[in-house]
Structure 1
């Protein structure tokens, strides 16, 4: 078991708490930087999708995992960023500027959607965000002069000041750099008073309000930041997919995004990327084993949905902490062997009497 003896404040706020962190994250960075020369073009494209969905997952993790707000309409922010990026890029805007505007536009939409969060919570907030998602999807289909409607909209390659990311490798590095910056921004946000306020609201709104935390401000801010990250992910998604249509941002996409953070591990930035790996890798795994299944099962149109549902139920019942929680248990088992005990990670949540009766 590793113990870190901290002697000053600077040591406490360091990103890498000890040499092990610096070594493993540095090694991961080297592997990701060398990925274009180690992987085939198809696998590199899948890794690019993992980075894109990981950025969106970071936003949803801030909202659901750290603030405790339930959203079933995140595909609306994802789509708003994608369409904004496509329209601005096709107009000749530089890629960084277009992506910044796409993120800001999605953040503005997130503020509008976050307003109901001030009065409702739980399943009612989920219904409100679900309804908003339907409205935005219909808007994408009807606003044909801008989005192309159901006919779709082609997206130009990202360009900036004479440079163009017109290849798989160059665009992969764009996504990698964006994912690293987004992760560092979220990591620092969670260490700041704003992130601590998010966690306090998640744990107990009554206690947070009693400590002077402005619930309306921080809930709306959480929605805005989450939507901005979803919009940035959507901007990258638009260039990766090269063609947008409204059915790409429907309720199924929202459920996939929520499924991603739940299976990855709520309350963990690592879980956003682990969930993205699951979301991108599971369809590939299903396709790989289809040939070995009976024809009636392998060719069933709802096979993917059944597998997703079964996996989600299994995680909720047997591993509610998600993939990252499972990794923590494995790591702790090796560190404490033979003194590890089963109930070590059992969830213990105590409620105030006033909350228990609500």
Structure 2
């Protein structure tokens, strides 16, 4: 097991805790840079989708995992960002400017949606965000002059000051830069007083308010930042898929986003990336296994939904910390072997907030 002897206060908030982190993350970054020359075009496109969904997952993780404000309508923010980007790109706006507008509009909508969070929480907040998702989907379907309605809308390739990003490799690097910048921004935010205020609100709103944290301000800020990242992901998604329709940002997409952070591991940035890999990789795995299953099962229309449901139930019951929590336990077991205790990783009993007061 690694023991870190800290001699400076800065070591407590360093992004990389030790040289091992720097080595492995550096190796991962080099591998991602070399991916366009190592992977076929199909798998490069799938990795690009992982980056796009990871951006959205990081934003939703900030809202749900670190602030405790659950949203079941987060796909609506993706839709706002995607259609804003598509409309401005058609008008000839350069990608950096249109992307900033997409993020800004999504953030503004996020503040409006976050207003109910000042009065309600838990299940009631989830219902409010779900209702907002239905409203946005209906607006996208009815505002045909801008969105194209149910007929859909074609999206142009992103242009950077006269230079069009043609080909999958150029767009891959654009998504890599965006996901790296978004992740670093959120990590630094969590180290700042603002991020600590988010965590305090998640743990106990009453305690946070008693320490002088302005609940309305920080909840609205969390919604705005999360919606802005979802808008960024939506803008990149629009250029990647090159065709938009309202049903792409409906309830099913919102459930997929919630599923992504729950299975990845709530309360960890790593969990957002694990969840994005799961969301993109699981359909590919199911399609590869279909041929080896009986025809009645392999050709069933709801196979993917059933698999997702079973996996979600299994994680909630057996591993509530998600994929990242399981990896932490495996890593700790390897570090301690053979000096581990038999019951070290047994799931501990959890209590509701109301039960902690008894």
TM-score band w.r.t. shorter chain: over 0.9
TM-score (norm 1): 0.97
* Regions of 4+ moved over 6 Å: 350-355
Matched residues in 1 for 2:95 and 2:322: separation? 35
User: Alpha-carbon deviation of 1:17?
Assistant: 1.5
Q: Any gaps of 5 or more consecutive residues in structure 2?
A: none
Q: How does 1:138-177 map to 2 (within 5 A)?
A: 138-177=138-177
**CA deviations over 1:271-298 (Å, ceiling 9, x no partner):** 1011000000111111111111111111
Distance 1:303-1:354 versus aligned 2 partners, 3 A rule:
closer
* Aligned position for 2:29: 29
* Aligned position for 2:185: 185
Matched residues in 2 for 1:245 and 1:110: separation? 21
Question: Secondary structure at the residue paired with 2:232?
Answer: helix
More displaced stretch, 26-35 vs 13-22: 13-22
Matched residues in 2 for 1:334 and 1:156: separation? 49
* Aligned position for 2:47: 47
User: Alpha-carbon deviation of 1:349?
Assistant: 5.7
Question: Secondary structure at the residue paired with 2:43?
Answer: helix
Aligned residue pairs: how many? 357
Q: How does 1:26-175 map to 2 (within 5 A)?
A: 26-175=26-175
Matched residues in 1 for 2:344 and 2:357: separation? 24
Matched residues in 2 for 1:223 and 1:346: separation? 32
**CA deviations over 1:54-84 (Å, ceiling 9, x no partner):** 0000000001100111110000001000000
* Aligned position for 2:338: 338
* Aligned position for 2:219: 219
* Aligned position for 2:242: 242
More displaced stretch, 229-238 vs 346-355: 346-355
Q: How does 1:226-237 map to 2 (within 5 A)?
A: 226-237=226-237
* Aligned position for 1:284: 284
User: Alpha-carbon deviation of 1:10?
Assistant: 3.0
Matched residues in 2 for 1:133 and 1:271: separation? 24
Distance 1:294-1:93 versus aligned 2 partners, 3 A rule:
same
- Contact 2:94-2:162 within 8 A present in 1 as well: no
* Aligned position for 1:303: 303
- Contact 2:73-2:131 within 8 A present in 1 as well: yes
**CA deviations over 1:283-324 (Å, ceiling 9, x no partner):** 111111111111111111111110100000000011111010
User: Alpha-carbon deviation of 1:336?
Assistant: 1.1
Matched residues in 2 for 1:38 and 1:313: separation? 36
Question: Secondary structure at the residue paired with 1:213?
Answer: coil
User: Alpha-carbon deviation of 1:340?
Assistant: 2.4
Matched residues in 2 for 1:245 and 1:329: separation? 42
TM-score (norm 2): 0.97
Question: Secondary structure at the residue paired with 1:5?
Answer: coil
* Aligned position for 2:258: 258
Distance 1:349-1:207 versus aligned 2 partners, 3 A rule:
farther
User: Alpha-carbon deviation of 1:102?
Assistant: 0.4
Question: Secondary structure at the residue paired with 2:325?
Answer: helix
Q: How does 1:321-332 map to 2 (within 5 A)?
A: 321-332=321-332
* Aligned position for 2:210: 210
User: Alpha-carbon deviation of 1:13?
Assistant: 2.7
